[in-house]
Amino acid sequence: MKYFSLSKRREGYSLLELVISISIFVIISTIVMNNFRQGQKMDDLRTGAIELVNNFREVQTLGMSGQVVNVCNGGDNDLGSCSTDVDCPNGGTCGLVPIGGFGISIGKVYDTSVWKYCYETGSTIDCPTTYTLFADLSGTAGKFDVGGGDIPLAGKNNYALPKNVRIRDYNVSCSWQDSPGFTICPNATPFGIDISFRPPKPTPYFFTPIPPKPKTFAEQTIRIMLEHKSTGKCRMVMINGVSGEISEIADFGSDCNIFPLE
């Protein structure tokens, strides 16, 4: 009897108990991994928005302080790249303050061939996943004019957003002195949006190429919507047109709708 009782106490788990235990472990592990991946994706979206804010603040600071870029001012190599005055023969000097300041250029978000936004099914264009920081040497404030001599900042040409993060939409709201509240400026869609800051004020300049009269606007509030493609979650970057304050906004609703924003 003693042997029988001792042997019964030494029995292990049954096969059914092992299967149940393993199943519970797998389920818990899957939930934990999914939450981790979801959190990682939200971190990527947050990182993309913060990087965009920081880059806007960088070009804003460069524009306000009148920083120079390494290109020739005059001489045979006028507007060409340089490191010293030697690279600018016949009277040129190395180092030029961009007359139009510094800015960021973002590609188009609307496909006019099918009249759909880049995130909609059927669009033939992809939403922008990069943007360019530039020096506006041509003097057309807010416009990234490569043909006119504007140049991307070193290391900031096609600055990449984190994986699966894209620019979904943007809009501009202008506050005019003769109109109460906000009215919509001529939209940059579908031509892309170029935003710059020029000395000495921190307020943004926005260039619209919409025909027949391409034009630069100043002191308008600009909103840029970033989206994570896998989660469908969004964050917004906003530039206040009057104060020049640049902020990142997360809590504005669940539908990624860029307007209205109270």
pLDDT at 62: 93
CA-based angle 197:179:141, to the nearest 5? 20
Q: How many whole angstroms from its chain centre is CA 96?
A: 27
Rounded CA separation 150/135 (Å): 6
List the chain pLDDT tens, one digit each, 262 residues: 455 555 555 566 677 777 787 888 778 877 776 665 666 888 999 999 999 999 999 999 999 888 999 889 889 998 888 889 999 999 999 998 898 899 999 999 988 889 899 999 999 999 999 999 999 988 776 788 887 789 999 889 899 999 999 999 988 876 544 454 555 566 655 678 899 998 888 889 887 766 556 677 787 888 999 999 988 899 999 999 888 999 998 866 567 877 654 4
Query: What tokens does 53 get?
Result: 């804010």
Name the H helices within the chain. Answer: 2-9, 15-65
Q: Where are the beta strands (DSSP E) in the chain?
A: 69-73, 93-96, 102-106, 110-111, 116-117, 130-135, 151-152, 159-160, 165-174, 183-184, 193-197, 205-208, 215-218, 220-228, 234-239, 246-249
